[in-house]
Amino acid sequence: MELHQAIDAYCERVGAAFWAEPLNAVSNGAFLIAAVVAFVLWRRAARGTSGPDVYALALIALVAVVGAGSFLFHTFAVRWAALADVIPIALFIHAYLLLALKRYLALSWGRAGLGLLAFLALSPLIGWMAQFPFGSSSSYVPAAAALYGVGGLAWRRDPTVGKSLIGIGALFSLSLAWRMADEPLCSVWPVGTHFMWHIFNAIVLFLLLRLLICRKPGYTGGSKQFQETSRTGSRIEKSNGSPF
């Protein structure tokens, strides 16, 4: 594979210049904003717990890396930059799913790991089946399915968590629609819609991080404790003036 081979995959790009995709490039700042706000929530939430949640912190850092990798791809637009774009996204999806199975469904690490392996095994099949009508966006359909699936399973144990995940899944589905609309609308909207995919995805990732932060490690009770920590997170978010 030629790592420096040019890639022209989005409506906004009409040349090989570094800033040929200005909206697609700059909109990645939304991921950095999401990471910064989530980090503030994480720091303040950590003061009321027995210790910092290192898993949530790692995912916050990964969201910042997602933004940086996507910026590289939409400026350099070559294969090595594409890898810098997709690898952090894949890491976030799989790491978050593992933690979701552990925390939201109260599975052991072993069973959560088996669930992740099942997701890895089924993802290619789901993506292949979703090629029509999702096209190049079909690779993200398994992630959407996981949000709905884990949300549905969590609903009986904790309706608050279940509803949150399903709501985030719906928002991610809307985000996918923006990604899919980029090429079809190119003739009437020359800048494309891919930048909206970035903005909506940043909101999705922030909401996932917020849910994880409000969900204390080792939590085994019902929805009451979650609602208490969630309200704490809401107060933190409000006092911080979060744009989300």
Q: Which CATH class is domain 22-227?
A: mainly alpha
At 145, list the tokens.
């399915």
Question: Hey, how many other C-beta atoms are within 10 angstroms of the C-beta on 6?
Answer: 11
Mean pLDDT score of the chain: 89
Per-residue pLDDT reduced to its tens digit, 150-163: 999 999 999 999 99
183 vs 225: which has the higher pLDDT: 183
pLDDT at 185 over 50: yes
Mean pLDDT of 118-142: 96
pLDDT at 242 over 90: no
At 204, list the tokens.
């999705």
Question: Which pLDDT does position 217 carry in this prediction?
Answer: 56
At 44, list the tokens.
């303040």
Long-range contacts of 67-73 (CB under 8 A, 24+ apart): 67/28, 67/29, 67/30, 67/31, 67/32, 67/35, 67/202, 68/28, 68/32, 70/28, 70/31, 70/198, 71/25, 71/28, 73/7
229 vs 104: which has the higher pLDDT: 104
Tell me: is residue 94 an annotated ligand-binding position. no
187-226 in b/e form (b: 16+ CB < 10 A) is eeeebbbbbbbbbbbbbbbbbbbbbbbbbbbebeeeeeeb
pTM for the whole thing? 0.88
Per-residue pLDDT reduced to its tens digit, 95-110: 999 999 999 999 999 9
What is the C-alpha separation between 190 and 188, in angstroms, rounded? 6
Per-residue confidence band for 222, with pLDDT thresholds at 50, 70 and 90: very low
144: helix, coil or strand? helix
196 residue type, one letter: M
52: helix, coil or strand? coil
Long-range contacts of 120-128 (CB under 8 A, 24+ apart): 120/94
Question: Which pLDDT does position 228 carry in this prediction?
Answer: 47
pLDDT at 167 over 70: yes
CA-wise closest residue to 94 among 61, 129, 57, 62: 62
140 vs 243: which has the higher pLDDT: 140
Question: Which pLDDT does position 237 carry in this prediction?
Answer: 39
Tell me: is residue 21 an annotated ligand-binding position. yes
Angle in degrees, CA 190, 193, 198, rounded to 5: 140
* Contact status, residue 168 vs residue 207, Cβ threshold 8 Å: yes
| Domain residue spans of the chain | 22-227
